Structure 1
Amino acid sequence: MNFILNTDSYKYSHFAQYPPETAGISAYIESRRGGEYDNTLFFGLQMFLKEYLSQPVTRAHIDEAEELVTAHGLPFNRTGWERLVERHGGYLPLMIEALPEGMIVPAGTPMVQVRNTDPDFFWLPTFLETSLLRAVWYPSTVATVSWHVRQMIAEALARTCDDPGPVLPFRLHDFGARGATSQEQAGLGGVAHLVSFLGTDTVASLVAARRYYHEPMAGFSIPAAEHSTMTSWGEEREAAAYENMIDQFDGEGKLVAVVSDSYDLFRAVQTIWGGQLKDKVKAMKGTLVVRPDSGDATRVPIDTIEMLGEIFGFSVNSKGYKVLAPCVRVIQGDGINPRTIRVLLEAMAERGWSAENLAFGMGAGLLQKVNRDTLRFAMKANARQDAGGNWHGISKDPKTDPGKASKRYRQAVVMEDGAPVAVPLKDLGDRENLMRPVWENGDLKVDWTFAEIRDRANPNGA
């Protein structure tokens, strides 16, 4: 991996564009106000620091980059990159500060701030914008979507479930690996989801949690059918395919999920699960999770729950909501996004069903249908240091779009009224700065564990 090539084309000419007296540049990352959510769960920077910045630039990288960049039509700062190797062993002379990962941050609050530590490398902080911003916005956005869904489900469970604690962590399952653009994206987004939940089918997320956050096992799954394993039996042996799932995977306290819409979902529920295999389902040591996988995602899952209730019975909990018999539950994995989850939770409550009857599997809506503008992430320069070591605030303030105005001066983050708030570093006084060094001149300064991040994002499991 050649880090010199991990940027945008126009960055190669920027070393010649700053004022000649420039000795330092500071830049910061925030999710600007006006995105889809008012709060962001900050997550993912540590993966970038370990995977990318921990690898030194070499002379071979410089040679490769010079050939490509000059052929591309741009100037190449060979002197600067050679100085990096000679003076710093190829490690970037930068100070990167950040909030603790897992912190819930109001929009408009800096999460990361970077500056150079060697005056000859004033051009380096903004050279990182492409890679550093990408390393933060994507996992933070996925983590934020997942965290907000958790709050939504937690509220529904609090209203309709007697014991929400054990139920909540498994209500949203990550089905997104196949919809991601790469194994790396699946890992980055998948582990971001696991900050708030324990259910996943994205194996890359487990690898990422181990590799970057010291977590032996970040998530869990269950045996589950797909259409190929059901339709391979043929429609005439659909009941045998379902029965085989019970025979193969039923165990004490275990769950097994069976996609049941290969031919006719309602027939499968009523005449196979509720007819031919009814006694076998009722005798299970574990739980059958029926998976409707087609039709109106806001209606079919609840219709399935009601059919299963008629067949296998239900109880009414202390909050007055119906709970399916322990042998059956439902998971909806098609057409799920935050909006359909809200609709389903509200519809279940209106029909008198507890939210614990239904789990959700989200794929593209979790890992793929997000972009940098979902939370309006941006990285902007906020200060310039002169040759005398003095910092001067810089910012943009476009009259055609006031929402893109950036922060002036190097920033700090303090707690005010229980929430993180940005203040210019020069005005910090004796208040505690929540931004702390995480990287300095090739050294990783913190090493968060996944458990710490989870506790910070969801204290006491809340």
Structure 2
Amino acid sequence: MDFLDNLLLNTDSYKASHWLQYPPGTDATFFYVESRGGLYDRTVFFGLQSILKQALARRVTRDDIDQARELFAAHGEPFNEAGWRDIVDRHGGRLPLRIRAVPEGTVVPTQQALVTIESTDPRAFWVPSYIETLLLRLWYPVTVATVSWHAKQTIRGFLERTSDDPEGQLPFKLHDFGARGVSSAESAAIGGLSHLVNFMGTDTVSGLLAARAWYHEPMAAFSIPAAEHSTITAWGREREVDAYRNMLRQFARPGAIVAVVSDSYDIFRAVSEHWGRTLREEVIASGATVVIRPDSGDPVAVVHECLRRLDEAFGHVVNGKGFRVLNHVRVIQGDGINPDSIRAILERATGAGYSADNLTFGMGGALLQRVDRDTQKFALKCSAARVDGRWIDVYKEPVTDPGKTSKRGRMTLARHVESGEYRTVALPDGALSLDEANAPAGFEDALVTVWENGELRQDWTLAQVRERANAARL
């Protein structure tokens, strides 16, 4: 077996010694996950299910234990061999844990408990701490889904103001270009899938495979034929227009969409002369929509100028909201795209009278790679331990950084039935949820048990996740 598949080695080195560090008499622990703040004031919860299916679904084996014992001995760390063998012998290698979480796709304000993790076997109280490293990696899908969701709200606002069909246009307005800019195929899969919580356009094939593997979605998103610089420049500068004509002849059919990068030499000449004059009639006759892609320069200025020149060449109609929609052509901007530049481009274009219908965006590094755990200040902390039969609060309160003060006690997330307000509330001793406690007036428990003692208790589909995320608004 590959060491990289061993759950016992999917942790930080110092975790191997933590079972010896709790007070004598400890027989249960309780942990939680939250976004303590960050760039956005709310997050889209997503990705825990993929971690559970990938990592926790595999039972611990005696071979795993032998590998871990040998590695940690050479590494200089103690290892709880007896504890892990007990889990194999008594639990069949299933981890004695209960994990509760908000349903995936739920949009929750920061500084609220999103997940709780608790031990279910007094002899394995230390297990929740051991798996902190792998569970906290859910910061990545949550953060990518959150960035994508907030970009969607921005685009939605411009479409609602300038488009006759805002909801029909929205799912394809932000395309994932990020596969080549991430650290690994796994990052492409997880990040690419997280974007698809909000949109249905991608070139990250790994995200499609992840949707199939973990969220029951046979085809999560779509793409179109599109040129890259090499397929244009291979024709030579003198034959640039022939490269564009070849794209039309290969892919332009009635109702089709084809994207052509057009800034290999001079984007403005390409738009006005090649597309706007030489190929104009071929574009119109094809019945396709040709999407021009500028790929350099100041995105705000270049996109606006491309729209203006395409308008001169192909004309427009004025929609029901008084904005211009180009005939036969559109623009996609994939260079320099981030949530701020999306807003700036749309402000310039719509300010000039062009509907957001005319624009699509491709986002790469800023979507899948330019995030980290501190983007939303994610933390997984112990908040309670049972010592000598009594639950005690566990927390930190550093005088040097009040923002790192952690929550105390056993808890759950409550949601007000009418207002939708979220509130992290205490659970009394023995209660597993608000159903077993006195809930605050008008509140219901927002957490559900998703994993218990080695079994997946909820198995969300991507369609369910999308429905929740799309229903939320800023």
Corresponding residue of 1:75: 78
User: Which blocks of at least 5 consecutive residues in structure 2 are unaligned?
Assistant: 429-433
Corresponding residue of 1:3: 7
CA-to-aligned-CA distance 1:51-109 (integer Å, 9 cap, x gap): 11011111111111111112111111111111111111111110111110000000011
Q: Which structure 2 residues correspond to residues 86-97 of structure 1 after superposition, within 5 A?
A: 86-97=89-100
CA-to-aligned-CA distance 1:399-420 (integer Å, 9 cap, x gap): 1111111111111111133122
Corresponding residue of 2:363: 362
Amino acid at match of 2:121: D
Corresponding residue of 1:440: 452
CA-to-aligned-CA distance 1:23-67 (integer Å, 9 cap, x gap): 01100000012x000010000000011111011111111111111
Corresponding residue of 1:395: 395
Tell me whether 1:306 sits opposite 2:308 in the alignment.
Answer: yes
Corresponding residue of 1:65: 68
- How far does residue 461 in structure 1 lie from its aligned partner after superposition? 10
CA-to-aligned-CA distance 1:219-239 (integer Å, 9 cap, x gap): 000000011111111111111
- How far does residue 380 in structure 1 lie from its aligned partner after superposition? 0.5
Q: Distance in 2 between matches of 1:233 and 1:324?
A: 29
Tell me whether 1:410 sits opposite 2:413 in the alignment.
Answer: no
Q: Which of the residues 442, 445, 450 maps onto 2:462?
A: 450
Q: Distance in 1 between matches of 2:167 and 2:18?
A: 52
Please provide the CA RMSD for this pair.
1.4
1:106–1:420 Cα contact (<8 Å) kept: yes
CA-to-aligned-CA distance 1:156-182 (integer Å, 9 cap, x gap): 111111111211111100000001111
- How far does residue 318 in structure 1 lie from its aligned partner after superposition? 2.1
Tell me whether 1:167 sits opposite 2:179 in the alignment.
Answer: no
Aligned length: 458
1:260–1:292 Cα contact (<8 Å) kept: yes
TM-score, normalised on structure 2?
Answer: 0.95
- How far does residue 252 in structure 1 lie from its aligned partner after superposition? 2.4
Amino acid at match of 1:334: D
Corresponding residue of 2:431: none
Q: Distance in 2 between matches of 1:85 and 1:69?
A: 19
Amino acid at match of 1:443: E
Residues 1:17 and 1:190: Cα distance change in structure 2 (over 3 Å) = same
Amino acid at match of 1:82: R
Tell me whether 1:98 sits opposite 2:101 in the alignment.
Answer: yes
1:200 match: secondary structure: coil
Corresponding residue of 1:109: 112
User: Which blocks of at least 5 consecutive residues in structure 1 are unaligned?
Assistant: none
- How far does residue 436 in structure 1 lie from its aligned partner after superposition? 1.2
1:105–1:419 Cα contact (<8 Å) kept: no
- How far does residue 434 in structure 1 lie from its aligned partner after superposition? 1.4
- How far does residue 289 in structure 1 lie from its aligned partner after superposition? 0.2
Q: Distance in 2 between matches of 1:377 and 1:267?
A: 48
Residues 1:101 and 1:168: Cα distance change in structure 2 (over 3 Å) = same
1:57–1:91 Cα contact (<8 Å) kept: yes
1:384–1:394 Cα contact (<8 Å) kept: yes
Q: Which structure 2 residues correspond to residues 143-292 of structure 1 after superposition, within 5 A?
A: 143-292=145-294
CA-to-aligned-CA distance 1:145-165 (integer Å, 9 cap, x gap): 000000000001111111112
Amino acid at match of 1:96: I
Question: Percent of counterpart pairs with the same letter?
Answer: 55
2:107–2:472 Cα contact (<8 Å) kept: no
2:176–2:362 Cα contact (<8 Å) kept: yes
2:177–2:203 Cα contact (<8 Å) kept: yes
- How far does residue 460 in structure 1 lie from its aligned partner after superposition? 9.3
1:336 match: secondary structure: coil
2:211–2:220 Cα contact (<8 Å) kept: yes
Q: Distance in 1 between matches of 2:335 and 2:411?
A: 43
- How far does residue 387 in structure 1 lie from its aligned partner after superposition? 4.0
After TM superposition, which residue ranges in structure 1, 4 or more long, deviate above 6 angstroms? none
Q: Distance in 1 between matches of 2:106 and 2:405?
A: 24
1:258–1:288 Cα contact (<8 Å) kept: yes
1:199 match: secondary structure: coil
Q: Distance in 1 between matches of 2:217 and 2:392?
A: 42
TM-score, normalised on structure 1?
Answer: 0.97
Q: Distance in 2 between matches of 1:146 and 1:7?
A: 29
- How far does residue 21 in structure 1 lie from its aligned partner after superposition? 0.6
Corresponding residue of 1:339: 340
CA-to-aligned-CA distance 1:218-269 (integer Å, 9 cap, x gap): 1000000011111111111111111111111112211000000111111111
CA-to-aligned-CA distance 1:100-127 (integer Å, 9 cap, x gap): 0000000011111101111111111011
CA-to-aligned-CA distance 1:344-402 (integer Å, 9 cap, x gap): 111112111111111000000000000000001000001101343x4222111111111
Corresponding residue of 1:125: 128
Q: Which of the residues 17, 34, 38 maps onto 1:30?
A: 34
Corresponding residue of 1:138: 140
2:153–2:473 Cα contact (<8 Å) kept: no
1:455–1:461 Cα contact (<8 Å) kept: no
Corresponding residue of 2:322: 320
Amino acid at match of 1:414: A
